[in-house]
Amino acid sequence: MTNQLQKITLNDGNHIPAIGFGTYKLKGNEGVAAIESAINLGYRLLDSAYNYENEGTVGEAVRRTTVPREELMITSKLPGRYHRYNDAIVTIEESLYRAKLGYYDIYLIHWPNPNRDLYVEAWQALIEAKKRGLVRSIGVCNFLPEHLKRLQDETGVLPAINQIELHPFFNQEEQREWHKEHGIVTESWSPLARANDVFENEVLKNIATKYDKSISQIILRWHYQLGAVAIPKSATPNRQLENISLFDFSLDDQDMKTIASLSRQDGRLKNQDPAVYEEF
Ligand SMILES: NC(=O)c1ccc[n+]([C@@H]2O[C@H](COP(=O)([O-])OP(=O)(O)OC[C@H]3O[C@@H](n4cnc5c(N)ncnc54)[C@H](OP(=O)(O)O)[C@@H]3O)[C@@H](O)[C@H]2O)c1
């Protein structure tokens, strides 16, 4: 096995790397340096969002590296306050202006905000943005199966990606199964549970010792073997490298099950249940 970045095919025929880089809270000059470091270490899939106020930071890092633009997959997300069709189109254009990019590789609806009931309209705008060449692949975050089903019923187009909270304490088994049955790629946000409790966990410590890997590598390898694209964030170059060095070992079935058994019904980090949680 080599340590090369593996690729996953989306339902629209495009390909994404099996692991990406999260950028929440990476802003300004330090943020640019951290993202530039991640690209130089081998990350090719970058996550960001209009609401992280760092689309400019990501764009600047992309311009500073020597890696050609076409080798990078850059993501941003539509905020809840701009779900109306015309607002959504303008927001995507504004995202591009901020990053100084000609196109986004991936654009996602950030939250469904079902109580406002505008996410189908937002999805129609993403479909149109793809037609116009503003974005190459379109998807969503935090959509439950009932929301995804509505997109399919009302537009005939299913997202290529659903980015959801996923870590050993909340493993999203049913949701992942639904994605698999419908050809949607799962992306894992907060894949390291924001470093809360994972590094002290005895079960994970024992598995890490067994494979002579770090706990972070064990968790990220678990995501990879689940078929989920993790997007760990780190401002620290040696951790960035550690987190992407996953393709030279493999967890056995028993260890996969043991990690899955750490999941809890109430395992969400901040109780952000998409059925009721709203973000604008
Ligand atoms: N769609 C959504 O609704 C949504 C929601 C939340 C997040 N996201 C995306 O998902 C990305 C990742 O999630 P996240 O940032 O919440 O959390 P995360 O990636 O699970 O954890 C980040 C934390 O882990 C630490 N860390 C990273 N690698 C480490 C290592 N090898 N050893 C020890 N500590 C390590 C980082 O510290 P240092 O930085 O100090 O190294 C940081 O404190 C975000 O950045 C964002 O792009 C999306």
Q: How far apart are CA 214 and CA 111, in angstroms?
A: 32
Q: Give which of 76, 123, 140, 89 is closest to 274, Cα–Cα.
A: 140
User: How confident is the model over 205-225, as pLDDT tens digits?
Assistant: 999 999 999 999 999 999 999
User: How confident is the model over 121-139, as pLDDT tens digits?
Assistant: 999 999 999 999 999 999 9
User: How confident is the model over 57-77, as pLDDT tens digits?
Assistant: 999 999 999 999 999 999 999
Q: How far apart are CA 61 and CA 63, in angstroms?
A: 5
Of the listed 24, 43, 50, 52, which one is catalytic?
A: 52
User: What are the structural domains, with CATH classification, of the chain?
Assistant: 9-260 (3.20.20.100)
Q: Which atom of ligand 1 is nearest to 189's Cα?
A: 10
In the numeric block, the tokens 């790629």 are attached to 185
- Which residues are 109's β-sheet partners? 78, 140
Q: Which atom of ligand 1 is nearest to 191's Cα?
A: 20
Asked if 35 and 64 count as a contact pair (C-beta separation under 8 A), the reply is no
Question: Is 52 considered catalytic here?
Answer: yes
Residue 181 Cα to ligand 1 middle (Å)? 28
Report the predicted TM-score, pTM, of the whole model to 2 decimal places: 0.98
User: How many angstroms separate the Cα of 12 from the Cα of each of 17, 96, 106, 258?
Assistant: 15, 22, 11, 34
Length of the chain: 280
Mutate to test the pocket of ligand 1, among 233, 241, 242 (most ligand atoms within 8 A of CB): 233
Residue 128 Cα to ligand 1 middle (Å)? 31
Asked if 117 and 145 count as a contact pair (C-beta separation under 8 A), the reply is no
How many CA atoms lie less than 13 Å away from 185 in the CB half-sphere?
25
Which sign does the torsion angle of CA 47, 261, 5, 66 carry?
A: positive
Residue 162 Cα to ligand 1 middle (Å)? 18
Give the chain's mean pLDDT: 97
Whose C-alpha lies nearest to ligand 1, atom 39? 234
Residue 5 confidence class, pLDDT cut points 50, 70, 90: confident
User: Is 1 a residue whose pLDDT tops 50?
Assistant: no
User: How confident is the model over 160-213, as pLDDT tens digits?
Assistant: 999 999 999 999 999 999 999 999 999 999 999 999 999 999 999 999 999 999
